[in-house]
Amino acid sequence: MAEITASDVKKLRDRTGAGMMDCKKALVECEGDLENAIDWLRKKGLAAAAKKAGRVAAEGLVGLAVNERCGAILEVNAETDFVARNDLFKSYVSTTVDLALSHKADLEKLGTLPYPNTDRTVSEELISLIANIGENMALRRVSYLSVEQGAVAAYVHNKVSDNLGKIGVLVALESGANADKLRELGKKIAMHIAASNPCSVSIESVDPKLLERESAIVEEQARATGKKEEFIAQIVKGRLRKFYEESVLLEQVYALDGESRVKDVISSAEKEFGAPIKITGFIKFVLGEGIEKQVVDFAAEVAAQLS
Distance between CA 101 and CA 297 in Å, rounded? 40
pLDDT value, residue 1: 62
Q: In this structure, which amino acid lies at residue 74?
A: L
CATH of the domain at 49: 1.10.8.10
Distance between CA 225 and CA 223 in Å, rounded? 5
The total number of residues written for the chain in this structure:
307
pLDDT value, residue 50: 43
In a domain, 95, yes or no: yes
Return the number of other C-beta atoms located less than 10 Å from residue 87's C-beta.
8
Residues 37-63, mean pLDDT to the nearest whole number: 65
Q: Which of 170-179, 203-212, 272-281, 291-300 has the lowest mean pLDDT?
A: 291-300
Tell me how far the alpha carbon of residue 153 is from its chain's centroid: 17
Quick one: what percent of the chain has pLDDT higher than 90?
53
Quick one: 47 and 170 in the same domain? no
pLDDT value, residue 68: 81
Q: Which of 108-122, 128-142, 290-304 has the lowest mean pLDDT?
A: 290-304
As for how many domains the chain has, the answer is 2
**Residue 200 DSSP code:** B
Instruction: Judge whether residue 109 has pLDDT over 60.
Output: yes
pLDDT value, residue 303: 52
CATH of the domain at 88: 3.30.479.20
pLDDT value, residue 230: 73
In a domain, 242, yes or no: no
The overall average pLDDT reported for the chain is: 86
In a domain, 177, yes or no: yes
